[in-house]
Structure 1
Amino acid sequence: MSKKLKFYTDEHVSNSVVKGLRLRGVDALTTKEAGMLGADDKEHIAFAMKERRVIFTQDEDFLKLHSRGVKHSGIVYAHQRTPIGDIVRGLMLIYQVLESDEMKNHLEFL
């Protein structure tokens, strides 16, 4: 049985995104809250997989890892200049239409 998505944001993501998700009832965890500040990208992927969380990032390095076939629990990417409101709306749409099993090794662009 699939479950609702839980998000994990890397260091490049504004705390406003996390606040926006939480206000809408979404489970979102920051790198700082997870004690993962300074970790490399593969460590973030491993942590997210262990916690069954989809990574939301604005770091293109995660796109490279995905293209190399690195296994992950899901990645959502938005360009650095994407407005926070657009990010929250995009993440909410993904949250509403996809389940955690559908995001495994899947990449979504906002």
Structure 2
Amino acid sequence: MSRVRFLADHDLNEQIVTGVTRREPLIEFQRVREIRLSTAKDHEILEYASRQGFVVVSHDVNTMPAAAFQRIERGQAMAGLLMVKQADPVGLIIDNLFLIWQASELDEWKDQVLFLPIR
């Protein structure tokens, strides 16, 4: 069993990444720009995340879920996708991501697409 690791899509609010890692420094939260994928297409980001064991966190509600569902339909593994609307309160999203990290394992998110916040 392994802990959830997060990968921030290029459009994710930086305050979310900073807030999560300040709350718990043990949480691994990489940014696509840190791994030189900032110009990558959605399917490339999902492929990288799947190979490296990251759950993707994104604001891109228009195209990222469709790319994720295409992967699943093709039988390609996906480590998970967490969608966040731009208008959602940052503090609530930080709390949700901390809870996910604290209460679940990476394998529980395989092929899952979830819109935060958890209600």
TM over 0.5: yes
Q: Is 2:108 the counterpart of 1:102?
A: yes
Q: Which runs of structure 2 are paired with 1:11-50 in the superposition (5 Å)?
A: 11-23=10-22, 24-25=24-25, 26-50=27-51
User: Could you say what secondary structure the match of 1:36 adopts?
Assistant: coil
Q: Report if aligned partners of 1:7, 1:53 keep a CA contact under 8 Å in 2.
A: yes
Q: Distance in 2 between matches of 1:28 and 1:72?
A: 17
The alpha carbon displacement at 1:6 in A equals 0.5
Q: Once superposed, what is the RMSD of the aligned Cα atoms?
A: 1.3
Q: 5+ unaligned residues in a row in structure 2: which ranges?
A: none
Q: Report if aligned partners of 1:4, 1:95 keep a CA contact under 8 Å in 2.
A: yes
User: Could you say what secondary structure the match of 1:59 adopts?
Assistant: coil
Q: 1:81 aligns with which of 81, 87, 105?
A: 87
Q: Distance in 2 between matches of 1:100 and 1:75?
A: 11
Q: Distance in 2 between matches of 1:32 and 1:67?
A: 24
Q: Report if aligned partners of 2:55, 2:80 keep a CA contact under 8 Å in 1.
A: yes
Scaled by the length of structure 1, the TM-score of the pair is 0.91
What is the total number of aligned residue pairs between the two structures? 109
Q: 5+ unaligned residues in a row in structure 1: which ranges?
A: none
Scaled by the length of structure 2, the TM-score of the pair is 0.85
Q: Percent identity?
A: 24
Point out 4+ residue stretches in structure 1 off by more than 3 angstroms.
none
Question: What letter is aligned with 1:65?
Answer: A
Q: 2:65 aligns with which of 54, 60, 63?
A: 63
